[in-house]
Structures are given as C-alpha cells and as structure tokens.
Amino acid sequence: MTVAIVHLVAAAYMTGVIWFVQVVHYPLFAAVPAEASAGYARENQPRTARVVGPAMLVEGVTAIWLFVDPPADVSRWLPFISGVLLAVVLLSTVLVQVPRHARLVEENSTEALREVVSSLVAGNWVRTVGWSARAVLAGVMVAAA
C-alpha cells in the first residue's frame, strides 16, 4: 500500500508540473526575445531537470514495483496500463520534446522560435494527457489497495 501511495504522489506531482508546463511555461517561451532565447532555453533545461528528475525517478521505480508486486486487490492490468502510459510519456519526452528544446537553443529568428514553441505546446499534449491518465490510474490503485 505504501508503494501505491508514493506512486500516486509522484504521478500527481508530475501531472501538476506538466499542466503548468502546458498552460504557462511553454507558451511563455514565445514571449522571450529571439536574441535572449538561446540563453533562456539553455538555463531552462537544468532547472527543469532539478524539478522533475527526482519525481520521475520515484515514479519509474514505483511503477516497476507495482507491476512486479501489485497490492493484493489491484489487478495487474492497472500497473501494466499505467506503465505503458509512462513509457509513452518518456518516449515523447526523449524523442519529441528534447529535440525541440535543442532547437530553441539553435534558432535565433522570431518566426522560427514561434514555430518551435508552437510545436512544443502541441507535442506536449501527449505527455499532459498521459500523465493525467497515470494519476487517475494511480488513484484507482490506491483506492483498490
């Protein structure tokens, strides 16, 4: 039960972070002047990693733990589906969002930056929906346990 609660806290935390990123953080990238955007984007990466890294680690470890050893009243399907969603979120992060962040560092025209920011916001919906669904599933696991 403790692992399920820790998992819920990590998933809920990441859901809150990703909604903030979706609604506030990524759209504000478009307001950064082109001449300052590379430095802003470079500074954003390590700061964001400090905020999300520990929670993502806890979430990943507890997701595996719940799959291997789910609480007695939790169907193995719940941690499996939740794990698949986590894999989708992580793949989207690595394959879609990270390269777009790299482009923010490289681009120096206002038009190109707006295009990259627009693609960041649009592409981030995969993670926003995925983490939101994971939080719901984590809540269901805690309720069932």
The answer to whether 70 and 21 are in contact (CB under 8 A) is: no
What Cα–Cα distance (Å) separates residue 69 from each residue in 1, 13, 19, 58? 11, 23, 30, 16
Query: Considering Cα of 31, then 52, then 17, then 47, what sign does the dihedral take?
Result: negative
pLDDT digits (tens, 9 = 90+) for 67-119: 999 998 999 999 999 999 999 999 999 999 999 999 988 887 888 888 999 99
Domain ranges (residues) in the chain: 2-144
Quote the pTM value: 0.91
What does 65-87 look like in DSSP terms, one character per residue? HHHHS--TTS-THHHHHHHHHHH
